[in-house]
Amino acid sequence: MCEISWYILFAAFILDFLLGDPRWLPHPVVGMGNAILFFEIRFRRWIKNQFFSGLLFAVFLITAVWAISFALVKLAVFIHPLLGIGVQVLLLFYCFSAKSLVQAAQEVAAPLEARDIKLARKKVGMIVGRETQTLDGEAVTRATVETVAENFVDGFLSPLLFALLFGVPGALAYKMINTLDSMVGYKNEKYILFGRASARIDDTANFIPARLSVLVISFAAFLLSAKKGMSALKTGISQGRRHKSPNAGYPEASFAGALEMRMGGPNVYHGKLVDKPYIGRQFSNPDIHGITRACELMLLSALVSNLIATGLSLLFF
């Protein structure tokens, strides 16, 4: 483990809960995205073997982010310990996106409740990869809840775990892994070889957090209701594998059990129908309040996981 103080973990969580993703602050993930665009062209040009080029490209960017953030933290601590704490809190705050995920989901829920299905389709199309032009209200709700569930891992639990194990530089390195996957980890003609390494690294990085999410989500649901907690645990364990992604199914299945809501099923991606299995088939389709309930469960799960992490940090460090 890399030492990280409990108050850094907790302060970063509080900042995320209060501020979300303020547009007036420069965000490191934007810089990561720009770096990906800049170096993708050059690595493709320098190395003709697309898989090997993509592998070196991913390793270079992940290592660079870790090294830069490590040096920045060390420099801040060297100047003054309080500056070091502030820099670590700020950088870790950038790695969390629970509040911004809720805000994005609420932007879908508002037009749904106003029965403006066209605007709801437009808003959900900004946070999911599937085609949304023909989705009805239930499908829009299901897509949004699936995104909230899956991104609890990507947007909070994984960076939290990497921070606990490898310090703030580890959390930032994870954000680069996740950003690489979202930008080049596609199975299309352009990225099937070049983006394969980025996708596999992301799968590996999220393997343990995705499975731990079943326990965290189930415990959070148990705080609301013993029945919900047991349903989340049972569904997460028994149906977490029912997904084409090696990781996304676990938090989705846990949310399906806790909310008693059917998820998954066939969807259209980039013009092709993908026959995804249903998760929580035994439950009913989501109602109009499903998004709000999912956001509440996600925030409670984030609080639970952060309290566990701060406790572990306090115990060991």
pLDDT at 130 (0 to 100): 74
pLDDT tens, position by position, 19-48: 988 777 778 999 999 999 999 999 999 999
Output the pLDDT for position 2.
63
Whole-number Cα distances in Å, 226 to 32, 51, 201: 42, 48, 36
pLDDT tens by residue, 54-113: 999 999 999 999 999 999 999 999 999 999 999 999 999 999 999 999 999 999 999 999
pLDDT of residue 273: 64
Q: Is the dihedral of CA 206, 211, 217, 219 positive or negative?
A: negative
- pLDDT tens string 295-314: 999 999 999 999 999 999 99
d(CA 210, CA 27): 25
Residue 270 has pLDDT above 80, yes or no: no
| Averaged pLDDT of the chain | 93
**Sign (positive/negative) of CA torsion 252, 254, 259, 263?**
positive
- The mean pLDDT of 261-276, rounded to a whole number, is 73
Look at residue 317 and tell me whether its pLDDT is greater than 80.
no
Between residues 2 and 134, which one has the greater pLDDT? Answer: 134
Q: Tell me which residue of 134, 263, 129, 131 sits closest to 187, measured CA to CA.
A: 129
What pLDDT is stored for residue 134 in this prediction? 80
Query: What is residue 162's predicted lDDT score, i.e. its pLDDT?
Result: 98
- Three-class HEC string of the chain: CCCCCHHHHHHHHHHHHHHCCCCCCCCHHHHHHHHHHHHHHHHHHHCCCHHHHHHHHHHHHHHHHHHHHHHHHHHHHHHCHHHHHHHHHHHHHHHCCHHHHHHHHHHHHHHHHCCCHHHHHHHHCCCCCCCCCCCCHHHHHHHHHHHHHHHHHHHHHHHHHHHHHHHHHHHHHHHHHHHHHHHHCCCCCCCCCCCHHHHHHHHHHHHHHHHHHHHHHHHHHHHHCHHHHHHHHHHHHHHCCCCCCCCCHHHHHHHHHHHCECEECCEEECCEEECCCEECCCCECCCCCHHHHHHHHHHHHHHHHHHHHHHHHHHHC
Q: Is the predicted pLDDT of residue 136 greater than 80, yes or no?
A: yes
As a whole-number percent, the residues of the chain with pLDDT over 90 amount to 80
